[in-house]
Amino acid sequence: MASLSLEGVSRRFGPTTAVDRVSLEVADGSFVALLGPSGCGKTTLLRLIAGFEAADDGLIRIGGDDVTGLAPEARDLGMVFQSYALWPHMTVAENVGFAKALWTLPKAEAAARVGAALDLVGLADYGRRRPAELSGGQRQRVALARCFAKRPRVVLLDEPLANLDAHLREAMLVEFRRFHRETAATFVYVTHDQAEAMSLADRIAVMNGGRLEQVAAPERLYAEPATAMVARFVGAGQLVPVTVAGSVGPGRLAADLWGCRVELRGDDVTGPATGCLRPRDLALADGPDAIPARLAFSTYQGGFWHLELVPEADASQRLRLESDRPPPAPGSRLGLAVRDGWVLPGR
């Protein structure tokens, strides 16, 4: 396996810059997810790493080797596509053995690699079947086995669970974690689904408009978003205007929110700023310190109610939270307490 390094990588299509000066370090054996909305450049970046697209600027290194100008087959990578890309007329074993890296091996060694790869993905007894005889999850495992059989330096995965239903996706998340643990391979995984990225990755690289917004461990990305885009995209963050008075302890700030004093997490910020409030940071409350709001609507979602409230001090805002008790009628006046939150770093 090997590390991956991108330095100032760009790709332009006419007047459109799909990938804009991206620099990223992926450690040997790590699992990095490229996360972002549709059209953010994440798949183009993966194709640049694979060699399916040529970079207009920058360098791409795998294991310290400059592969920027090399053809895909010369980069020693494994690719798993959203569409599985299996040959329908071949058996499962033949599909796995079709990896080019196996073509020059003695037949016995190639067969041993195919068998080991199928065993890894739990399909040791399926070698003689054809793709049409398999479920969607099993076909995805065949695609993974073909990738692992060639023993690539880096494994690239382009939204591999997008074609599976919710139940199969959940099962495959468990399997992907196992595959990564057992192979110790370097994984780069493209997805627009933050739950997938959070479940799988050691680090998440959030992309927007062709650029990297933030690269961090899942826990930090959720708790301490660096930009407004990351705050909104990850964890349904709600941005509110605050005025920070000062520190009240390590990593804790006193702030004014619509005339009410709140405490938020943050560092080295004073004056006007932007706070990020997750639904879980808010709760219904009574008393003089509560933020007055009106209930816009509520929906029951199995075990809890999803509420959307409008602060009386700012009718343009909508604050979402969850409650375990039945809400009153829409339009009712309620109080809000801020239990936690994050002040975005100044820029």
19-40 residue pLDDT tens = 999 999 999 999 999 999 999 9
Classify residue 287 as left (phi > 0), alpha (psi -120 to 50) or beta.
left
DSSP-based three-state secondary structure for 130: coil
> Strands of 305-311's sheet, edge to edge?
282-284, 333-338, 291-300, 305-311, 319-323
Single-letter residue type at 53: E
- pLDDT beyond 90 at 268: no
Q: Which residues does 275 contact at the CB level (< 8 Å), separation at least 6?
A: 239, 240, 241, 242, 255, 257, 262, 264, 341, 342, 343, 344
Single-letter residue type at 161: L
* Overall average pLDDT of the 103-126 stretch: 87
pLDDT at position 27, please?
97
Q: Which CATH architecture has domain 4-228?
A: 3-Layer(aba) Sandwich (3.40)
CB 5 within 8 A of CB 25: yes
d(CA 35, CA 326): 36
The proportion of the chain whose per-residue pLDDT surpasses 90, expressed as a percent, equals 70
Mean pLDDT estimate for the chain: 92
What 8-state DSSP symbol labels residue 328? -
- pLDDT beyond 60 at 292: yes
DSSP state letters, 198-266 = HHH-SEEEEEETTEEEEEE-HHHHHHS-SSHHHHHHSS--EEEEEEEEEEEETTEEEEEETTEEEEEE-
| pTM score, whole prediction | 0.89
Domain ranges of the chain: 4-228, 236-279+289-343
d(CA 213, CA 344): 13
d(CA 307, CA 298): 4
Among 201, 153, 247, 265, residue whose Cα is nearest residue 42: 201
* Overall average pLDDT of the 295-304 stretch: 93
d(CA 180, CA 187): 8
Among 197, 297, 281, residue whose Cα is nearest residue 236: 281
pLDDT at position 178, please?
87
Q: Tell me the pLDDT band of 197, cut-offs 50, 70 and 90.
A: very high
88-97 residue pLDDT tens = 999 999 998 8
CB 10 within 8 A of CB 17: yes
- pLDDT beyond 70 at 347: no
Which stretches within the chain are classed as H helix? 42-50, 92-97, 107-120, 136-149, 166-183, 194-200, 218-223, 228-233
Single-letter residue type at 209: G
Could you give the C-alpha distances from 296 to 285, 315, 333, in angstroms and in order? 17, 11, 10
Q: Tell me the pLDDT band of 261, cut-offs 50, 70 and 90.
A: very high
pLDDT at position 101, please?
65
Check residues 172 and 238 and name the one with the higher pLDDT.
238
